[in-house]
Amino acid sequence: MSIRRAVYPGTFDPVTNGHVDVIRRALRLFDRLIIAVAANPQKEPFFKLADRESMVRQTVRRIRNVRVITFEGLLVDLVRDQKAVAIVRGLRAVSDFEFEFQMALANRELFTDAESVYLMPSIEYIFVSSTIIKNIAMHGGSVRHFVPAHVERRLTRRLQQGHDGKR
């Protein structure tokens, strides 16, 4: 029997409990999950790539059959290189669907051997996104229920340093 691998790509800026929920759901479907933290030069991430990778690693350190890597370039090249059968994505709302649908069609055109699989998070995380988390934290709100404790500490530390490049 062959091992069924999937890739879960994202910016993870920062990783949230919603991401963790999707990771756990994906592991019910696949033998191995590769979490691919994207460099994504089109976005201006709040955290550096190494920091995002570190936070994801710490978040999943006790979850079996997960590997964390970073990548840049075409996702389908990574999926092919990792011998994955699927790309896992989270869908929170209908507003996510249009973008994800376009990406799935483009990925299918570029690499037909992997399917896009969409998983909805638990209802308690349906509204949670990294952008919302950063916005709450920047305005002094508590993100304790939305991110792992170590991420909350790093976010607080990062905000105290200021978002002016002092990383």
Split the chain (167 residues) into runs of 10 and give each run's mean pLDDT.
92 96 97 96 89 98 98 94 95 75 82 90 89 93 95 93 57
62 part of the active site: no
163 part of the active site: no
Look at residue 128 and give its three-state secondary structure: coil
Place domain 5-129 in its CATH homologous superfamily.
Answer: HUPs (3.40.50.620)
19 part of the active site: yes
Q: How far apart are CA 42 and CA 135, in angstroms?
A: 20
pLDDT at 165: 47
pLDDT at 166: 45
Taking CA atoms, 145 is separated from 16, 31, 63, 133, in Å, by 9, 29, 20, 10
Taking CA atoms, 150 is separated from 4, 13, 33, 103, 140, in Å, by 31, 14, 22, 32, 17
Pairing of strands 32-38, 5-10: parallel
Given the residues 5, 19, 134, 158, the one annotated as active site? 19
Instruction: Write down the domain spans for the chain.
Output: 5-129
Given the residues 32, 130, 154, 158, the one annotated as active site? 130
pLDDT at 48: 95
Could you tell me the pTM of the whole model?
0.91
Q: How far apart are CA 145 and CA 38, in angstroms?
A: 25
130 part of the active site: yes
Given the residues 83, 92, 108, 150, the one annotated as active site? 92
pLDDT at 1: 67
pLDDT at 161: 86
